[in-house]
Amino acid sequence: MRVLSLRLLPLIVLVALIVLAVAPFVLAQSENKPEPPVVHSQDGGTSGRMESIFIPPLTGAPFSMMLVTEWSRPLGNGGSFTLVNKRRIVRDGRGRIYQERWLLVPKGSKIESRMDVIQITDPKEHTWLNCGVDEKVCEVRPYGLVPEMVYKPGMGTTGPLPDGQGFRQHDDLGLSNSNGVDTIGYRETVTLNPGVLGNDLPMVSTREFWYSAKLGINLISKVDDPTSGKQFFSATELTTSEPDPRYFVVPEGYKVVDRRKGEEKPN
């Protein structure tokens, strides 16, 4: 047995040397193995979007303007949190519409807004271009609105709501003028009875707007709703001359992806 052990000694030493040589490599591989990504989750919060003003594709009523927006929501201590932006909207005599979408930023903060989307609609071609500024890609989607449709501001009449839900008060505010354009004002106040919309007390929302029949849009709009806060829209720098045609073409350097047909067309 002693002779056999002596004969195995070199083999045992060789195996030990191999193990010692391989161990650091295996350990290094283990240390360099990437850690799995960590996902931090939180409950609660909201991801709702604010709806801006509606622009119909009317013909023969061109305009250019900057739309100023403020969106205020209440804080628990009685204060408010307000987001703002300012964006360009243009419509030509053919009913084509150009709109810039700028990010809402906290009012009075050092955070600067930036444009993230350009939208161009053409009622004759029935196309809606949605162009991502960061990606420089314009997606073409169908656009169903046409100038021949009748566009009117949504309004109700004074009286009780159906099924005993509450009451609506409609008020005509008379004539005014904004940016040199005649407008007519309306205010609607809706009171919902407790329990209609998850509310334990009567819930009151108001909507006031100053409508231009010439342009078919609201030049001033105010919405006060307990579920979404206060929203204020105001048209500024308004002109009613024919705009530059450059607004209604694909921006230079953008790729076009036709989502109606799945085709890609470089611009």
Do residues 68 and 229 touch, judged by C-beta distance below 8 A? no
pLDDT tens across 97-125, in order? 999 999 999 999 999 999 999 999 999 99
pLDDT band, very low/low/confident/very high, at 263 (cuts 50, 70, 90): very low
Q: In the beta sheet, which residues pair with residue 242?
A: none
* 84 vs 249: CA distance, rounded Å: 28
Q: For residues 260 and 183, which has the higher predicted lDDT (pLDDT)?
A: 183
Q: Where are the beta strands (DSSP E) in 193-228?
A: 203-212, 217-225
pLDDT of residue 104: 96
Chain CA centroid to CA 64, Å = 21
pLDDT tens across 41-98, in order? 656 555 556 778 999 999 999 999 999 999 999 998 999 999 999 999 999 999 999 9
Burial 190-211 (b: 16+ CB within 10 A, else e): bbbbeeeeeeeeebbbbbbbbb
| CA distances in angstroms from 61 to 14, 90, 177, 193, listed in the order given | 92, 11, 17, 42
Query: What is the pTM (predicted TM-score) of this model?
Result: 0.80
- Reported residue count of the chain is 267
pLDDT tens across 150-199, in order? 999 988 899 999 999 999 999 999 999 999 999 999 999 999 999 999 99
Sign of the C-alpha dihedral, residues 190, 193, 196, 201?
positive
Pairing of strands 115-122, 255-258: unpaired
* 267 vs 226: CA distance, rounded Å: 46
Is the per-residue pLDDT at 14 higher than 80? no
Element counts in the chain: helices (H) and strands (E): 1, 15
Mean pLDDT computed over every residue of the chain: 87
pLDDT band, very low/low/confident/very high, at 230 (cuts 50, 70, 90): very high
Here the tokens at position 174 are 């008379």
Here the tokens at position 238 are 């308004």
Terminal Cα-to-Cα distance of the chain (whole angstroms): 86
Q: Which CATH architecture has domain 63-258?
A: Clam (2.50)
- Here the contacts of 19-22 (C-beta below 8 Å, separation 24 or greater) are none
pLDDT of residue 2: 43
Amino acid found at 243: P
Q: What DSSP state is assigned to residue 240?
A: -
Any idea which of 18-22, 81-85, 143-147 has the lowest mean pLDDT? Answer: 18-22
